[in-house]
A and B are shown apart, each in its own frame.
Chain A
């Protein structure tokens, strides 16, 4: 029944985790960070995972994005079983399908904003012109068209994080992971970053998974998962309209 499979795929979640567990050993001490967690994310939404520091948010993100292996359970991303991919295949999967934004901006000091965005595209097999077009477009989208030639040392923290977002966005990923993207920034800049992430989810249909212990971000998310001690406590959709009408200054 080919039609049934096709229909099933359309409704398949972008990201699916079933019964995942993860423990770390430090010395003789065993810490169970994730304990039989199940989760499914739909495409085109900004999902926020919030919870106190040390509850396992970052570990969950690393597992869902294929940067870390699970002890038990399975992760399915865009229909691929991540557990069955080797290191090379995982790299290739990330190259094709995922973008990352970290708390630290992790920009090369020697490169201009434009080059930071262009660099990963060079490795995707895109033509030079296509890479430049995408870099230009992404930087415009995060409101940095006029600062493309500047190096990180000449950019503010908020601008650096926007360059990091543009670097992830230019790959046109289906999955975008952000770990505490606002915690190094002040309130206004943090607000702008979460707005950009939300807009990316809506206009590009990207599945955005954002992890943060910052409660101010809750109102901007389509869906909020509250986490504690390796488990998801609540799963809700804030009724409040996200502040998406706000203009990005450029």
Chain B
């Protein structure tokens, strides 16, 4: 077979360049947008994904980790009685007001009070062991590298949270929060920092199971009891999903993503289809000649579609390479970007869908390839 579509694309690449650029930019925009949104909103479930707990126990109806309310401390012993549970520890969330040594004004911080023992579950994947050990000292806190300027401190310095003095004993990385700053401390320190007298118990209890595969079943089993006041349970996976979904949809960010995806698709498809139509128009006499010689309209349409496919594939390749470079750059600057397989697949589908729609639009231009018009 003579590869008409490909040879034309290569020989007349200048003609097809706008389409490839349009497709490439559409793909790149979409890719970066999804990676940023996933990166930013992924940090809202860091408390869950950065910890090794299989089950979370908290106040019923909690939408995200930051909006929990205290539960009865006695739930802990009840949970421990379940034979599937290996370890339970409290997790205390305190909203705090940070005053640093430098003139920064008040900064809103999210205080996470965790068990500083070596086998503690909270932040076990995000916090190095030596930093965790240092939290055992009274009033010791760890903050993220990226917020040092914002907090106006460096390691060894003191500041106050809710009027209580704390001392920065360590700097971690990868603990960025959304809408505030994460501050890690021990459970004891967190209790001291909490100035709300209504808060008696922990905000959450987190549990490790002997068999993590049973998380859903155990969570369901522990949910039924009401003897200790209101509380409910989630498997860690479910709670992370609830948390991310809350941020995506209740903040309108998800709608924004979809809206921009629609705009990108529309603009990309208009430019791409116009370019492909111009390419068809440029060869319309040649296509008409092939049709006069008996080559069917279907075969000619396939040529146009194949061109659209190659435009999409090449644009995607460019977007992928450039996107990779930009994401690595973002990572090196502590900009949270995350790309998951489903997100990448969504990008590919969007771009190839765009190319396909443009190809279908360009196929209509073949109607002008009527061989009778060659005879005048």
Contacts and interface: CB of A to CB of B under 8 A. Distances in A.
A81 to B, nearest CB: 18
A104 B285 contact: yes
B158 to A, nearest CB: 73
Contacts of B1: 122
Contacts of B286: 106-108
Interface stretch (A92-100, A140-148, A191-199): A92-100
B372 A67 contact: yes
Contact of A118 (B2, B285, B376): B2
A220 interface: no
Interface in A49-82: 58-59, 61-62, 65, 67-68
Q: What DSSP secondary structure best describes chain B's contact surface?
A: helix
Interface residues of B, number: 27
Contacts of B292: 65, 67, 94, 98, 100
Given A100-B289, A102-B375, 18 more contacts: A58-B375, A59-B375, A65-B292, A88-B296, A91-B297, A93-B294, A98-B292, A99-B293, A100-B374, A106-B289, A110-B4, A110-B11, A111-B7, A118-B2, A119-B295, A120-B293, A124-B294, A179-B375
B86 interface: no
Contacts of A109: 8, 11-12
Contacts, number: 91
Interface centre among A110, A124, A168 (most CB of B within 10 A): A110
B294 A98 contact: yes
Interface in B281-300: 283, 285-286, 288-297, 299
A171 interface: yes
A167 interface: yes
A119 B292 CA distance: 13
B375 A91 contact: no
Contacts of B371: 67, 100
Contacts of B289: 100, 102, 106
A91 B371 CA distance: 11
A115 interface: yes
A56 B11 CA distance: 38
B8 A167 contact: no
B11 to A, nearest CB: 3
21 contacts: A58-B375, A62-B375, A67-B292, A68-B372, A88-B296, A91-B291, A91-B296, A94-B292, A98-B293, A100-B293, A100-B371, A100-B374, A102-B374, A106-B289, A109-B11, A110-B7, A110-B8, A111-B2, A115-B2, A120-B290, A171-B293
A94 B285 CA distance: 17
A61 B375 CA distance: 8
Interface in B1-22: 1-2, 4, 7-8, 10-12
Interface centre among A59, A108, A115, A119 (most CB of B within 10 A): A108
Contacts of B293: 94-95, 98-100, 120, 167-168, 171
Nearest to B6: A110
Contacts of A93: 294
A123 interface: yes
Nearest to A107: B286
A119 B372 contact: no
Nearest to B288: A106
Nearest to A117: B2
Contacts of A94: 292-294
Interface of A: 58-59, 61-62, 65, 67-68, 88, 91-96, 98-100, 102, 104, 106-111, 115, 118-120, 122-124, 151, 167-168, 171, 179
A68 B374 CA distance: 11
Contacts of B297: 91
A115 B286 CA distance: 13
A135 to B, nearest CB: 10
A120 B283 contact: no
A115 B7 contact: yes
Contacts of B295: 91, 95, 119-120, 123
Contacts of A67: 292, 371-372, 375
Contacts of A61: 375
Interface centre among B285, B286, B294, B297 (most CB of A within 10 A): B294
B376 to A, nearest CB: 6
B374 A123 contact: no
Given A61-B375, A67-B371, A120 B294 contact: yes
Interface centre among B290, B291, B293 (most CB of A within 10 A): B293
Contacts of A59: 375
Contacts of A102: 289, 374-375
A111 B294 contact: no
Contacts of A104: 285, 374
